[in-house]
Structure 1
């Protein structure tokens, strides 16, 4: 079989008189073979010198073709081992991940627009009265010192409160291992910059959060996607790929994964940590939205089972608190603490002292528990209503993952419907939703949407689904 494939590769015809460069011609031939399935995932490509000799071209031409294939996600290079076929990009997007993912997230909407793309909290569900009380208490107690931070790790009182809060979720840590950050995105970026060298292999769920992929790629990581099905992470695929590629880092969202909303079982979490020990890699656990759960979910974080100190736990507080106030924290494994702290200092020195003290007050005065309880009750009711609407109106048009929590529905369109066309037609009707293609590691299927109920009232949500139904009817 392998001999047949190599024979087909060496039969590639390149035209030296064409205006198209030879490396581009070679790139296109190999790309076509990958897309047609002739070169399967993890197939080891022939060595550069062998390929150059057989095709009677300069080795540099093969190098350039391989580099272009790698850059566009068709190949993965492993130092000292060669180049391997990556997951096949089924569609090539004309837009970058960032453009596609966040194209409709602007707040400058026309009057009457309904935003069901943003995961920022509905401002009307936040108690300004409680927040004002917290600000006044902090300023009365600390005066001008409320704006200062004496420690690069963050305010000690907040780190102490966070360590206590974490113990309730079975994560045992000390304030010395807590680094306050300006949101989860900064935490992911810090980890990438501290740990990744160009060419390092990183695993990520596929689909996943585009911002994480952006940070990892910016550090030179070669990202391998681990597929997710209706049961969550495909552990069999994860283990199979570990045997071929040895990642330095794995990025996961074990509870309420973005965009699918699925959560891992305790068995899966323990399996991943066992593999981390055996294959010697670290895990970034992005705890994106574990404060809003709709099911009897196994809600202990992956970090709660970490006896090997291999999990870097990142929690965004702004996602559940006030989106405009960028605040979060990460739990640092002892061996990585110095490098993570160093990158944080280079990034922005410290996060706002006032914001830290306000949140510390929320934790110590029980305002945080009250806030979470109200949010849970509010979104629980809205989630149930959205499930009824989806079941009644859209069974013929799409399937969806039933999320274990959070604010989003991950939808797969049926009957050949194009996600791009649904997004465009919905916008014409004043509804903003997210195209799902941006959440994939490399492939860009045109059949997924992410719909969020975070920033809309129940009344607006119902109207939004009406507009979506009209948009689908128009293009069906």
Structure 2
């Protein structure tokens, strides 16, 4: 209780008292003054200490809970949530927030290093700026402003702009997905979709399954809801079904989070057989499947990866699709298809998150879809990324040392590469940074790992003409790294540069 004695609430401030209190407690959590699982003061005691009514404390605690800083235990009170790493990790954000530390010394990434002109960025999933369809978007935006005028700036219903949902219903038929508009939820990017599902379905201590490794933003979201996370190994043809079945005999998950096509970070794609088996297990053991459709459009072997949702005969799949990754990431737009059994929970969680996704962006993108501009943009991006994919594949085969194993995907943007056992990709990352190369160490993609011998390369943020040069440079770094770190006697003391 003593830690709260210095909180000052200003009644002359236009900001509500409960918001002031919420912000003060939030600061104490972020700075570490309040440690994870610390119990917040009882409502009545804190109200008396601060000279406010009980409702102010209730609203402040509720606000903190909605923002994932605290959790409630029925009959016990409100507690600080366990500290999580950067919430915005993985492909949905720029590299400076992809991960916030590597190694035991938790050194922060130097943003200036990552964004300088000589850096070759094999880490970020954000497209290079030359690929943004600025001219087309500007025309569509101006047309919406001319036709819709002030209506374009109003709130939309939480579920999303109805004409856009109708357009998406028609668009996803090209993925062999049939859905009604009432099952479609507009979201502000895939990360928000994951967060909405977390809020809608996860209670404190609930079990959720994830692929291992997987997208870090999903791990962070599930941790923020105090879920019990169980990792299931992923293989080159999809999740390890035997391991999954064994876990299902012990645990009862609310859902499993998967990326069946060109998975992040591995690039693996599920076989048709494993997709069918996963659906059968969801039916048998009564759990949902959260499908993050991660760039299934970017198939480079003439075999389009079909979504799990397209064969969802049991209505167990909650399908999340982002437009941002190959459009303009800053616009944050996507959609979700969900069973009506979770309708009320999803709509409520979306409303709490941000009321509704930008109406102006929704209307503009609806025009994109109706006029076929989006479809043309997809074709353009496929051409660009296929060229990068081919150059990347050739360069990796040409330059990388034989001790390094490359898994060549069939599409997407990611290349999952393994060092020999015992070598640290965290240490490799630090060496690469000194040489103006950025990679992502594999530890980022696991629930609790501090280190890994895997690392990820991505072709989204590197220009075509940089790829061969960058891989050649990376290979020289790897040769030096393997030589020095292969001598265990030198490992503790010898600097790499």
TM-score tier by shorter-chain length is 0.7 to 0.9
Other-structure match for 2:316:
310
> Which residue is 1:264 aligned to?
270
Shift of 1:244: 1.6
User: 1:429 deviation in Å?
Assistant: 0.9
For structure 2, the 5+ residue unaligned runs are 1-81, 84-96, 484-497
Q: CA deviation at 1:238?
A: 1.1
CA distance in 2 between partners of 1:177 and 1:323 (Å): 25
Q: Which of the residues 102, 106, 125 maps onto 1:119?
A: 125
* Alpha-carbon shift at residue 446 of structure 1 (Å): 2.4
- Paired residue for 1:286? 292
What does residue 145 of structure 2 align with?
139
Specify the alignment match of 1:400 in structure 2: 406
User: Is residue 337 from structure 1 mapped to residue 343 from structure 2 by the alignment?
Assistant: yes
CA drift of 1:98 comes to 4.7
Q: How far is the alpha carbon of 1:434 from its aligned partner?
A: 0.6
SS in 2 for 1:244: coil
Paired residue total? 383
Cα deviation per residue 1:48-82 (whole Å; 9 max; x = unaligned)?
xxxxxxxxxxxxxxxxxxxxxxx99xxxxxxxxxx
**Closer/same/farther in 2, CA of residues 220 and 98 from structure 1, 3 Å limit:** farther
Deviations 1:106-163 (A, max 9, x none): 5762331121100011111223221111111111211121222442211111100001
User: What is residue 194 of structure 2 aligned with on the other side?
Assistant: 188
- The corresponding residue for 2:237 is 231
Q: How far 1:300 sits from its partner (Å)?
A: 1.6
Which digits, 9 at most, give the CA deviation of each residue in 1:443-467, with x for residues without a partner?
4442111111101111122222122
Q: Structure 1: how far apart are the matches of 2:424 and 2:459?
A: 22
The match for 1:99 is 100
Asked whether the 8 Å contact 2:401–2:479 carries over to 1, the reply is no
Cα gap change, 1:117 to 1:322, in 2 (>3 Å): same
> With structure 1 as the length reference, what TM-score do the two structures score?
0.77
How far apart, CA to CA, are the structure 1 residues paired with 2:232 and 2:173? 31
Q: Which residue of 2 aligns with 1:254?
A: 260
Over 3 Å counting, the alpha-carbon distance change for 1:221 and 1:98 in structure 2 is farther
Q: Contact conserved, 1:205 with 1:226, CA < 8 A, in 2? A: yes
Q: How far is the alpha carbon of 1:229 from its aligned partner?
A: 2.3
Q: Compared with structure 1, are the counterparts of its residues 440 and 285 closer, same or farther at alpha carbon in structure 2 (3 Å cutoff)?
A: same
SS at match of 2:326: coil
Cα distance in 1, alignment partners of residues 157 and 98 from structure 2: 36
Q: Distance in 1 between matches of 2:225 and 2:430?
A: 33
CA contact (8 A) 1:282 1:312 kept: yes
Q: CA deviation at 1:189?
A: 0.7
- Tell me how far apart the structure 1 counterparts of residues 436 and 98 of structure 2 sit (CA, whole Å): 23
| Match among 327, 332, 335 for residue 321 of structure 1 | 327
CA apart distance, 1:103:
5.8
What's the CA shift for 1:292?
1.1
More deviation, 364-373/260-269: 260-269
Q: CA deviation at 1:416?
A: 4.3
Inter-CA distance 297–204: structure 2 relative to 1 (3 Å threshold): farther
Over residues 17-70 of structure 1, what are the superposed CA-to-partner deviations in whole Å (9 max), with x where a residue is unaligned? Answer: xxxxxxxxxxxxxxxxxxxxxxxxxxxxxxxxxxxxxxxxxxxxxxxxxxxxxx
Separation in structure 1 between the aligned mates of residue 403 and residue 271 of structure 2, nearest angstrom: 30
Residue segments in structure 1 that go unaligned for 5+ positions in a row: 1-70, 73-95
Coordinate RMSD, CA, aligned: 2.1
Query: 1:307 offset after TM fit, Å?
Result: 2.0
SS at match of 2:324: coil
Shift of 1:414: 2.4
1:338 to 1:415, Cα distance in 2 relative to 1, 3 A: closer
Q: Tell which has more relative contact order, 1 or 2 (C-alpha 8 A, sep 6+).
A: 1
1:202 aligns with 2:216: no
Instruction: Decide which moves more: 275-284 or 101-110.
Output: 101-110
CA contact (8 A) 1:119 1:452 kept: yes
Q: Could you tell which deviates more after superposition, 397-406 or 99-108?
A: 99-108
| Residue 371, structure 1, aligned to residue 372, structure 2 | no
Distance 1:395 1:471, change over 3 A: closer
Contact 1:185 1:212 in 2 (8 A): yes
Find the aligned partners of 2:303 and 2:439 in 1 and give their Cα distance: 27
* 1:330 counterpart SS class: strand
Structure-1 residue corresponding to 2:469: 463
